[in-house]
Amino acid sequence: DAKTTQPPSMDCAEGRAANLPCNHSTISGNEYVYWYRQIHSQGPQYIIHGLKNNETNEMASLIITEDRKSSTLILPHATLRDTAVYYCIVRVAVLYSGGGADGLTFGKGTHLIIQP
Amino acid sequence: DGGITQSPKYLFRKEGQNVTLSCEQNLNHDAMYWYRQDPGQGLRLIYYSQIVNDFQKGDIAEGYSVSREKKESFPLTVTSAQKNPTAFYLCASSTGKNYNSPLHFGNGTRLTVT
């Protein structure tokens, strides 16, 4: 899997948009960008993923640059409950003979702290 | 509610003992995974299984063993051969039907070996 680079920590004011950057300059054409977050002592929570188009769901928006070498996760109105470690992951599509793919490779992520 | 259940949440063992961590899912997912997390670190893949009765080693399989006798269950045994077993262990599952399926995680088991 391609490696990703994220800032170790970021602050954001409550109610403002939180923009979390991720660099993945060696991403291949068949690799997706995934975002997860992890609140202390809990399992990671899936947020969103995309290949080359921008994506939006009820939690966040994912903006992928045209060259796919970087992306930004946007939490539109951050709340205190959004304080967590956010992981940006690129995932190669490796098809197992029975269908499916291998697991995700997690780095250290960005510790996002929402300030009241 | 559908989900992934890991039990127990906290587990304590003496050095030299094998210990088995439970992971059950009722999401009807084909693929299941085990990860290990150490303080301040990301997750590292131990084992994964795409289908019943088959599993593959991940990046750090040494000292661990798994079985996949049922679709909904993927227990992990931490053996006495694992040199640093104290860690936070996370189980995950995905549909495995295509290469675009997210992993869904349980809330983990924190294992302490003394």
> Cβ contact (<8 Å) for A107 and B103?
no
From A97, which residue of chain B is nearest by alpha-carbon distance? B50
User: Which residues make Cβ contacts (< 8 Å) with residue B90, sequence separation at least 6?
Assistant: A43, A44, B6, B34, B35, B36, B37, B43, B105, B106, B108
B interface test, pick of A32, A33, A45, A104 with most B CB neighbours within 10 Å: A104
Burial grade of A88 (CB within 10 A; 0-12, 13-18, 19 or more): buried
pLDDT value at position A100?
44
| Total residues found in chain B within this entry | 114
Distance (Å, whole) CA A14 – CA A22: 22
In the predicted structure, residue A93 carries a pLDDT above the cut 70 = no
Please give the residue that has the higher pLDDT: either A22 or A28: A22
**To which residue do tokens 């800032």 refer?**
A7
- Low-confidence stretches of chain B (pLDDT < 50) are none
Question: A10-19, A27-36, A95-104 — which one is most confidently predicted on average?
Answer: A10-19
In the predicted structure, residue A107 carries a pLDDT above the cut 60 = yes
* Alpha-carbon dihedral angle through residues B7, B13, B16, B17, given to the nearest 10 degrees: -40
A36 token code pair: 């997860």
In the predicted structure, residue A94 carries a pLDDT above the cut 70 = no
pLDDT value at position A97?
46
Burial grade of A35 (CB within 10 A; 0-12, 13-18, 19 or more): buried
